[in-house]
Chain A
Amino acid sequence: MLIAIRDLHRVYQVGTEQVHALNGVDLDIEKNEYVAIMGPSGSGKSTLMNLLGCLDTPSQGSYKLKDQEIGTLSDDELARIRNQEIGFVFQTFNLLARADAIHNVELPLVYAGVKHEERRRRAREALELVGLSDRMKHKPNELSGGQRQRVAIARALVNKPSFILADEPTGNLDSATGEEIMIAFENIWKQGNTVILVTHEPDIAQHANRVVRMRDGKVESDAATERRIARAHA
């Protein structure tokens, strides 16, 4: 099991009030799954994503990533897990504006302590994988939205993480470009990667094999998509 979540709680203190953002979540995700997490705002979807991404730690319950309990880790250990195990893709791309594409893709390897030559080589490979080998020296403002998101995907892939965690990856793109990005995710999944998609758009969620619906801090439903069934029959 790649991810094993048991009775996960996350309580925020807002002023004098306690907000139960997660209220006992159970979730298992296997290697090479393609999962979409859906839910309206306030459902606990973002909180779950932050916990999955090891940006936050649970108030109660257990989150095991590759049998490693996340809740007890220190800040530095969490940073190492984010660096080694998780590839983030954000809605707003979050590329460094001053750095060119290859430099952006290299960034996780910088924090992993990979040597310069090796970094270059691996970043180049990752950019080739998303079809941007001719845009390596371009700055983000010289790239289209779709290209920027593909740079971000290359950055997520470059350190060979255990899973890709994408937060509304098509939210800032037109539908045609969004489709293009979803094809990129599909390819990544087909190559054996685990992809977790966080979205509120049902169309986007349908690209996954499995949809986890959140409501009021709990998992409301967890089911295979039609596409999964179609894929299974194909």
Chain B
Amino acid sequence: MNLRESTGIALGALRANKLRSFLTLLGTIIGVASVIAVISFVEGLNRFVSDKLINAGSNVFVVDKYGFITSNEAYEEANKRPDIRMEDADALARGVPHARMVVAQTGSVERVRFRARHLDGISIRGRGPGYDVIDDLTIAQGRHITDFDDQHRQSVCVIGPEIADELLPGMDPIGKIIRVGEQSFQVIGVTTVKGKMLGQSQDRFVIVPVRTFLKYQTSQKSVEISIKSADQASLPIAIQEARNVLRGRRHVAPGKPDNFGITTADTWLEFYRTLTGGIFVVMIGVASIALVVGGIVIMNIMLVSVTERTREIGVRKALGARRRDILTQFLVEATTLSLVGGIIGILLGVGLALLVGALSPLPAGVNVFAIVLGIAMSSLVGVFFGSYPAFRAAKLDPIEALRYE
């Protein structure tokens, strides 16, 4: 059967009644558009997050009291473990030869003040030297915290650019004494602007030397230790070395599980993927419902079309069309219909993804797989929901069909 003819008939019918066609195709358009948008969005998010996690913390793992906790029970259990102390960080710095850097960290949330101005809820981070490498921070003004600052528990701090702008507007921040909680710190550096990540500012913090932080803290707190291995290959070795050191110091008997946690970027990445996987499944479900509804509408319109064109089917049969010729014709028509819907849906979905990409920091790019999927899904909808009307058309009796008024 003539493929071009059937496609032409379907396109002609679409053009002849634009509103009806649009309504017919709405379900398919919404279904395909949401699939494309979700895939592009989640893919963009994935790329963004893995970029961030891997770049910021490449070859980094974190040792802490809790590890990766996803349930309340696990938290209660982990809470009973002994704290990790600065001494552990020092021991790790000595006992992990494959570590390039061992940075202890702790933190709290405080009010920061300068003269009459104050900011609430600011993240105060006690960090050991090397934090700039771990956190990918560069200095815009002044200098970083050094080992000397830390060892001598200096009351100095490095602030994020947002703090500088809001707390010390129009002033040279370097050398200013600001109040952090109940203590005074001298500003020695301001970091460069990093912008927002998932709507969260990355420029709103105060970093102080970790030992200074611990000196002033009122209650004992467990510290976290970030360890950067020399390279990718030595990461597992460094992890093993760190485990050995900590198990020894914390008297963990052989065969017993670690009473501390080791988290890598992969742990987070995996957790994140599970999370977006869930979103993915839900959205695909919604899209499938839209596609099924769209398919039913297409089936309905095709049934109407078969009835309207009963005589034409009779004529075609009289002129020598076999059942499969008629079947193919109506299948091609249904598929053309749904494909047009699919293509509109793809354009819409891609447009949506590009819009999200333009208005947010997410690199929601066009995904070739998503486009192929969209085309495949819409043609499948056409073939599936077009087959019943096509079958009805194909089995029409030519005499009855020719007599149909």
A residues neighboring B (CB under 8 Å):
50, 53, 55-56, 75-76, 79-80, 82-84, 88, 90, 94, 96, 98, 107-108, 110-112, 155, 159
Query: Are A111 and B322 in contact, with the CB atoms below 8 A?
Result: yes
Q: 1/0 per position for B280-320, CB-CB distance to A under 8 A?
A: 00000000000000000000000000000001101111111
Query: Are A111 and B9 in contact, with the CB atoms below 8 A?
Result: no
Task: Enumerate chain A residues within 8 angstroms of B319, measured Cβ to Cβ.
Answer: 82-83, 88, 107-108, 111, 155
Minimum CB–CB distance for B154 against chain A, Å: 87
Residue of B nearest to A76 (CB): B322
In the docked arrangement, what's the CA distance between A83 and B319, Å? 5
Given A55-B399, A96-B312, residue A110 in contact with residue B2 (CB < 8 A): yes
In the docked arrangement, what's the CA distance between A83 and B398, Å? 13
In the docked arrangement, what's the CA distance between A50 and B316, Å? 15
| B5 contacts the other chain (CB 8 A) | yes
| B323 contacts the other chain (CB 8 A) | yes
CB < 8 Å neighbour of B315 from A56, A80, A94: A94
CB < 8 Å neighbour of A76 from B311, B315, B323: B323
Given A90-B402, A98-B9, A110-B1, residue A53 in contact with residue B318 (CB < 8 A): yes
Q: Is the interface of A mostly helix, strand, loop or mixed?
A: helix
Query: Are B320 and A80 in contact, with the CB atoms below 8 A?
Result: yes
Residue of B nearest to A112 (CB): B320
| B257 contacts the other chain (CB 8 A) | no
| B325 contacts the other chain (CB 8 A) | yes
Query: Are B320 and A84 in contact, with the CB atoms below 8 A?
Result: yes
Residue of B nearest to A87 (CB): B319
Minimum CB–CB distance for B40 against chain A, Å: 39
| B78 contacts the other chain (CB 8 A) | no
Task: Enumerate chain A residues within 8 angstroms of B316, measured Cβ to Cβ.
Answer: 107, 111
Given A56-B399, A110-B2, residue A96 in contact with residue B320 (CB < 8 A): no
Query: Are B323 and A82 in contact, with the CB atoms below 8 A?
Result: no
Residue of A nearest to B309 (CB): A96
Given A94-B311, A98-B9, residue A111 in contact with residue B402 (CB < 8 A): no
Minimum CB–CB distance for A79 against chain B, Å: 4
| B237 contacts the other chain (CB 8 A) | no
CB < 8 Å neighbour of A94 from B5, B12, B324, B402: B402
Minimum CB–CB distance for B373 against chain A, Å: 34
In the docked arrangement, what's the CA distance between A94 and B325, Å? 19
Minimum CB–CB distance for B210 against chain A, Å: 80
Task: Enumerate chain A residues within 8 angstroms of B54, measured Cβ to Cβ.
Answer: none
Task: Enumerate chain B residues within 8 angstroms of A83, measured Cβ to Cβ.
Answer: 319-320
Task: Enumerate chain B residues within 8 angstroms of A108, measured Cβ to Cβ.
Answer: 319-320
29 A-B interface contacts by CB (under 8 A): A50-B399, A53-B318, A55-B318, A55-B398, A55-B402, A75-B322, A76-B323, A79-B323, A79-B325, A80-B320, A80-B322, A82-B319, A82-B320, A83-B319, A83-B320, A84-B320, A90-B402, A94-B314, A94-B318, A94-B402, A98-B12, A107-B316, A108-B319, A108-B320, A111-B316, A111-B320, A111-B325, A112-B320, A159-B320
Query: Are A75 and B399 in contact, with the CB atoms below 8 A?
Result: no
Q: Across the A-B interface, give the 6 residue pairs with the lowest CB-CB distance, nearest first.
A: A83-B320, A111-B320, A79-B322, A94-B315, A108-B319, A55-B398
Given A110-B1, A111-B322, residue A79 in contact with residue B317 (CB < 8 A): yes
In the docked arrangement, what's the CA distance between A211 and B314, Å? 28
Task: Enumerate chain B residues within 8 angstroms of A53, measured Cβ to Cβ.
Answer: 318
Task: Enumerate chain B residues within 8 angstroms of A80, measured Cβ to Cβ.
Answer: 320, 322
Query: Are B1 and A75 in contact, with the CB atoms below 8 A?
Result: no
Residue of B nearest to A107 (CB): B319
Query: Are A82 and B318 in contact, with the CB atoms below 8 A?
Result: yes
Task: Enumerate chain A residues within 8 angstroms of B324, measured Cβ to Cβ.
Answer: 76
Residue of A nearest to B323 (CB): A75
